[in-house]
Amino acid sequence: MPVATAPQGSPVRPPRQQSAREPLRWPLVVITVLTALVVAVPAAALSGATAPLLLGDAGPLVRWGMVLLEVVHHLAAALTIGLLVVAAFLVREGRDTDRRGAAARVATASALLWCLASAGILVLGFGDLAGLPPSAPGYLQDMITNIWGLEVMRLRLVETLMLAALVPFAALARTRGALAWVAGLALFALVPLSYGGHSSGTDGHETAVTALLLHLGGITVWVGGLMAIGLLLPVLGTALPDTLRRYSTLALWSFVSVSLSGVLFALLMVDDLDDLVSPYWVVIWAKVGLLTVLGVMGAVQRRIIIARGTDRPWLFAALASGELAVMGTAIALGSVLSRTPPPVVESETDASSPAYALTGYPLPEPFEPARLLDTWQVNWLFLLVALVAVGAYLAGVVKLRRRGDAWPLWRLLLWVLGWAVFVYATSGAPGVYGRIMFSQHMIMHMVLMMGVPILLVPAQAITLAYRTLPARKDKTLGPREVLVAVVHSRWATFVVNPVVAGAIFFGSLIAFYWTGLFGWALTSHTGHVLMVVHFSLTGFAFVWSLVGQDPGPAKWSPPLRILVLLGTLAAHAFFGLALMQGTWLLEPEFFKTIEVPWVDDLLVDQQTAGGIAWGVGELPTVVLVLMVMVDWMRRDERESVRSDRQALRDDDAELVAYNAHLQRLAERDRSRR
């Protein structure tokens, strides 16, 4: 491409930096919105999403309003999240630009629209459930009375309240850190929706929630990020190539996330081959086709625009407009799908059993020691976390070795083994039987809190990340910058203080088992997930505070760490003894209601759990003490080597000074005589 040059002797002007005062480019956003609304109407009519119900029909306003509001809701959510993610993590600022400010202002408006759409769905949703039009007498009063008792309404209310808090936060956020926190809050606002899909009421409730969360997170970042870049195109200027390159990585992960969610949905929503030609699956097949098209278009975008550099924004806009039209169609079909009756999937589970009613899972086979090896029930959320963690670590090791740097393979082995044990604890026999047996629950608890961290901490994943993640030079937040900010934050310094980590380690046991949190974790998917996350992080922080070698807050001296370790695990042993000798039953209503036939005495099973808590703590204690002792010896060795090197550099000046000091003291004593 020819480059214009200034006449000889004339000053050369640098390229003009765009400022946020220039008008934003709305056509790409308009294309997405119009496509979604135009496609949603015929798709809803053909799929039966807006067909009148034979009994309890709420009227056309509710039927059509729910579909169209869902479209607006999803588009507003995507634009909000896309703008916040782009502003916080992808785009850099120039000397005379306010790109983050422009993104935050539009994100505030779209967040308000997202909140209003959610509130509208909340109002119409009650009519859909009750079979009443909004004009019915006493409609609002009945809705307010029943809003918390109906799960679908409760979830939508929680989302609306979260979005009401999101709007002012987005309005105030301007720094990259603040925008990152607001982006996290916006993504977290998708969680309530993941509990309300069609398949969330099936036997695989946890799988359905995980699948819908993967889908919502992937599609909002993917669509919203592209809309945000198109909207901010006039103010990006020279920042466009880097922004597109970073967005391309996010888009690839989003594509994988959405594809994986489709696989999980297929596992839940197919009973026989006839289901695959039902109206519900026709919409799904259409979405699969659109996903394929988007994958091809993304590959073209990477090859034509990103790989060659972007000096022609109009070419990016042309390709992005086609992508966004397809994305708008996909969002419309997704909104229609949420209102289309799914095929009836037959279940062999006895839904009337107390165990299924309280936990969402049928009773497994009667427990015996052999079941510890052959009983599995995959928890896809935790399995995916483990796979991503292992894959990222392995990629880091490969990157180091390709550039000629060494990394001990035993650390890789520890990392893989640690996550394998984590998967076994959450998807194997401890996770399956731990929902109904206190003793097996305690095995899962001890493995997560004490077994897994002893394997993961010595693997030094933070050190590996520091050595492999590229640092950004343009003051944007990348993975390395986020990791550094977390590791060196005041919060991390406080939490990994050995005394604080030990207090949380022991205090969590008391707070969890002697309050209603234990029962909540046994009967709720959310409670179960939070329990696993909390115990895993608590154990990791405690072990890291004692033997961690990664960059981070300064370590205490080894003798003090050993004292904290012994004190904390003595308190842990006291907890185990309290369970062993206790004559009262924790969560008696739950365990008595589920009536596990092979648990003859619930109190004996609880006392067995206490013995497990006490006995399992002994081996990790010995291992941790040995690890601290090894660290102590290595510190002494490093200090000795440092002193020897210093002595060689300055001809042992420290020893000479010390001897001179002793000589002066001796001479002073002689003079006093």
Measured over the CA atoms of residue 506, residue 511, residue 517 and residue 518, the dihedral's sign is positive
Q: pLDDT tens for residues 146-200?
A: 888 888 898 899 999 999 999 999 999 988 899 999 999 999 999 988 887 544 4
Do 371 and 429 contact (CB within 8 A), yes or no?
Answer: yes
Do 502 and 449 contact (CB within 8 A), yes or no?
Answer: no
- pLDDT value of position 662: 67
- pLDDT value of position 56: 78
In eight-state DSSP terms, residue 89 is I
Number of H helices, E strands in the chain: 30, 0
Q: pLDDT tens for residues 282-311?
A: 888 888 888 888 888 888 777 777 666 555
- pLDDT value of position 3: 37
Show Cβ contacts of residue 194 under 8 Å, excluding neighbours closer than 6 positions.
Answer: 200, 209, 210, 212, 213, 216
In eight-state DSSP terms, residue 238 is G
- Extract the tokens encoding 645: 């090197």
Q: pLDDT tens for residues 275-284?
A: 677 777 788 8
Q: Which of 74, 304, 328, 343 is nearest to 189 (CA)?
A: 74
Show Cβ contacts of residue 113 under 8 Å, excluding neighbours closer than 6 positions.
Answer: 72, 76
- pLDDT value of position 264: 83
pLDDT at 122 over 90: yes
| Mean pLDDT confidence for 44-72 | 86
- pLDDT value of position 370: 85
For the CA atoms of 521, 415, 541, 571, what is the dihedral angle to 10 degrees?
A: 70
Show Cβ contacts of residue 188 under 8 Å, excluding neighbours closer than 6 positions.
Answer: 162
Q: Which of 354, 360, 355 is nearest to 202 (CA)?
A: 360
Q: Which of 487, 466, 456 is nearest to 400 (CA)?
A: 466
| Mean pLDDT confidence for 574-579 | 88
Q: Which of 270, 269, 229 is nearest to 248 (CA)?
A: 229
Do 286 and 333 contact (CB within 8 A), yes or no?
Answer: yes
Q: Which of 441, 451, 420 is nearest to 513 (CA)?
A: 441
Give 655's pLDDT tier (boundaries 50, 70, 90): low
How much of the chain, in percent, has pLDDT values that exceed 70? Answer: 86
State the chain's mean pLDDT as an integer.
84
Q: What are the φ/ψ torsions at residue 331 (nearest 5 degrees)? A: -65, -40
- pLDDT value of position 349: 59
AA letter at 47 = S
Give 61's pLDDT tier (boundaries 50, 70, 90): very high
Taking each helix axis as running N to C, give the angle between helix 525-547 and helix 205-231, from 0 to 180 degrees, rounded to the nearest 10.
80
d(CA 110, CA 98): 19
pLDDT at 65 over 60: yes
Residue 647 burial (C-beta neighbours within 10 Å; 0-12, 13-18, 19+): middle
Do 432 and 360 contact (CB within 8 A), yes or no?
Answer: no
Query: Phi/psi zone of residue 502: left (φ > 0), alpha (ψ -120 to 50 degrees), beta?
Result: alpha
| Mean pLDDT confidence for 438-443 | 92
Do 212 and 337 contact (CB within 8 A), yes or no?
Answer: no
| Mean pLDDT confidence for 527-550 | 92
- Extract the tokens encoding 156: 């939508």
Count CB atoms within 10 A of the CB of residue 180. 20
pLDDT at 7 over 50: no
